[in-house]
Chain A
């Protein structure tokens, strides 16, 4: 099944991972690919881990990605990719947003938020395949941290060479009218990185 591409998005509830994967999937469908997408949220909608998996290609059977076969993992929160690093395939790309969100277990001192996470990614995956982005800051400069997910989308489109799809139109169709301009700017900023 080597003609199938696997994209793994991981983050924390409320960060917009699901909207991002919806936009991505829509783009692939409109370009004639077979697409399957799986979400895991369940009880953890607020503050819990959220993962979405997108697979596209000529014919896709399973909606879930297997270990060692993700072409790219995008972590919306810095530590979240640690959970899923074994899904990345050899020479796969890692995109890390530097935002840190402490779960309640860390806040009450019951678990520890690790130090030097980026260094660990560099060491394990290899620096050339690790892309670190401060999307939180970029989104803040654009006026609303909520468009952080679209900054990451822009970065992913560039790194994954998905330019042949009209993402801006899909973004326009997917966000509220008043947020369109900001999200288009967010996409451009992400793409420029």
Chain B
């Protein structure tokens, strides 16, 4: 059957057809939809893990037991999972193990554009990169065969353009290989120094040698000989761009299996073409190794390391031809940055927090609330990575103490899912090391930024089935936060929020504020608040624009302020801000 699938849907399908029975992931753009789609298939266990390290180790455990398993994450997620990944790479895999990493050239919603192909080189594992959705299915199936045949983890690298673009695929039946026998064998599964020392040379001399031979003879790597004036070595979506621009006017070595690289094929191909180009997005992963073989080529001296490739970029740099734009206009569309939604429970907190801008350091985290950094809220100083809000605030405070500087109190701002992901260790650390930071956990009862995934606090698992919900208050107590140093507050209530922040600001011991209000876009919330609206009484409105300081997208500035009734959910933050009582709530 022929249909259209995104790369993410196709990876889920490939894993399903390959007979995967255990899969674990933490959501993150552009990888999120892989597990969302896999969880719809019957006959396998799917789960949202609390973080990527957990996801990787869950899949490793299933692989040790003899089941085919995979984990999926965005590129920075592999930094979190690296501990488990680098160690499991020394094991002898039993059931096939695949780690999917979704890299993001051009950073549509990420903090960096790291090239995770190096993790496979670093971890001495196999590495595969597909170039369209059909290859996502085919290569996933082959990845599990490779993993079992060569007893190695396989890194499956994709990029945003593969994840989120659709192309035609052919679906096949699922084949579930029997779950392999588990035999207790420390030489395969117990990496103590004495065993690891014996294992390392085997990986160098046997695994990698076997993989190199495979690489030179497998169908994932392919030479397409056409005109020989220009030869291109390429991989992933860049292959499609090259074909679009050059068609049959160039010859190609398309590499789908990238570690180890097919050295014999590369030498053979290089000898047949006049001028050799390496066209790969992100870092010079292939290029550096080709140069090390003593082959001269053109790569990053012509094509950029930063940003995303496109046919236009390749046409311009390779052929010197700029694509013509036919129509030009000086008129500019207004900028449309992402903003906190109308009715977002984070707005009330950020509005009140903003009043401490000059006397506080706001240590931010990864999630919707990162948008609190944008104007007009401007309420974040920094965002390092997931979980770093609490640890960063702690470090800032300790440096403050040494510098004898009391001018800035440190607040950590973190969401519920992110707190479970990697915030909790930071909170324990701040208590253990007696930090006077105030941690604000923005509990909107969902993983919102990536599109509403369940987490251990929501009371549901990935399939929507009930699951015990972690009680954040009790959890904070268990981390060592004293009862008198914890406040739970409704962020729609500005007076209560203000009072909580004041206490947090004055605290001299580790302090926690939990702002509790479900995300405004959750279906039950939309239903419940459908008729609740805020409306402006034009007679009272003096257009002072105070309400606009909340940054709510439902507020419209005209001669007087008005409120878009389609997006307003009557949260009431603007009602509380208005100094003239000109905004009223209706529909309650």
Q: Which residues of A contact B240 (CB under 8 A)?
A: 61-63
Stretch at the interface among B294-302, B332-340, B412-420: B332-340
Stretch at the interface among B81-89, B161-169, B568-576: B161-169
Is there an interface contact between B553 and A104, defined as CB atoms closer than 8 Å?
yes
Known: A29-B2, A35-B168. A79 touches B311 (CB 8 A): no
* Chain A residues touching B, range: 35 or more
Is there an interface contact between B339 and A120, defined as CB atoms closer than 8 Å?
no
A157 at interface, CB cutoff 8 A:
no
Cα distance A9–B21 when bound, in Å?
39
Known: A104-B339, A104-B551, A105-B336. A110 touches B329 (CB 8 A): no
B449 at interface, CB cutoff 8 A:
yes
Is there an interface contact between B339 and A113, defined as CB atoms closer than 8 Å?
no
* Chain B residues touching A, range: 35 or more
Contact with B along A27-61 (1 / 0, CB 8 A): 00100001111111011111111000000000011
Which residues of chain B from 233 to 250 have a CB within 8 Å of any chain A CB? 237, 240-241, 243-244, 247
Is there an interface contact between A63 and B161, defined as CB atoms closer than 8 Å?
yes
Is there an interface contact between B331 and A86, defined as CB atoms closer than 8 Å?
no
Cα distance A80–B555 when bound, in Å?
21
Q: Which residues of B contact A48 (CB under 8 A)?
A: 336-338
Known: A104-B551, A112-B334. A36 touches B310 (CB 8 A): no
Contact with B along A3-39 (1 / 0, CB 8 A): 0000000001000000000000110010000111111
Q: Which residues of A contact B336 (CB under 8 A)?
A: 12, 44, 47-49, 103, 105
Q: Of the candidates A69, A103, A109, A125, which one forms a contact with B337 in the assembled complex, judged by CB atoms under 8 Å apart?
A: A103
B210 at interface, CB cutoff 8 A:
no
A10 to chain B, nearest CB (A): 9
Q: Which residues of B contact A80 (CB under 8 A)?
A: 333
Q: Which residues of B contact A143 (CB under 8 A)?
A: none
Q: Which residues of B contact A39 (CB under 8 A)?
A: 164-165
Contact with A along B140-151 (1 / 0, CB 8 A): 000000000000
The residue of chain A having its C-beta at the shortest distance from the C-beta of B561 within the complex is: A107
Stretch at the interface among B48-56, B318-326, B388-396, B525-533: B318-326
Is there an interface contact between B324 and A67, defined as CB atoms closer than 8 Å?
yes
Cα distance A1–B244 when bound, in Å?
8
Q: Of the candidates A35, A45, A82, which one forms a contact with B451 in the assembled complex, judged by CB atoms under 8 Å apart?
A: A45
The residue of chain B having its C-beta at the shortest distance from the C-beta of A112 within the complex is: B334
Q: Which residues of A contact B4 (CB under 8 A)?
A: 25-26, 29, 35, 37
Is there an interface contact between B166 and A47, defined as CB atoms closer than 8 Å?
no
Cα distance A45–B2 when bound, in Å?
29
Interface of B is mostly: loop
Q: How many residue pairs bridge A and B at CB < 8 Å?
A: 163
The residue of chain A having its C-beta at the shortest distance from the C-beta of B325 within the complex is: A86
Q: Which residues of A contact B177 (CB under 8 A)?
A: none
Q: Which residues of A contact B332 (CB under 8 A)?
A: 82, 114
The residue of chain B having its C-beta at the shortest distance from the C-beta of A85 within the complex is: B327
The residue of chain A having its C-beta at the shortest distance from the C-beta of B370 within the complex is: A43
Is there an interface contact between A109 and B328, defined as CB atoms closer than 8 Å?
no
Which residues of chain A from 73 to 132 have a CB within 8 Å of any chain B CB? 79-80, 82-83, 85-90, 92, 102-114, 117, 120, 124-125
Contact with A along B16-51 (1 / 0, CB 8 A): 000000000000011000000000000000000000
A-side residues, CB < 8 A to B, are 1, 12, 25-26, 29, 34-40, 42-49, 60-64, 66-69, 79-80, 82-83, 85-90, 92, 102-114, 117, 120, 124-125
Between-chain CB contacts (< 8 Å), 18 pairs: A25-B4, A35-B166, A38-B165, A43-B29, A43-B109, A61-B243, A79-B333, A82-B331, A85-B328, A102-B556, A104-B339, A104-B551, A106-B557, A107-B553, A107-B555, A108-B555, A110-B375, A114-B333
Known: A36-B132, A45-B338, A103-B334. 19 other contacts (CB 8 A): A29-B168, A37-B165, A38-B166, A42-B30, A61-B241, A62-B241, A63-B240, A64-B165, A64-B311, A68-B326, A102-B334, A103-B335, A103-B336, A108-B545, A108-B555, A109-B548, A112-B334, A124-B327, A124-B329
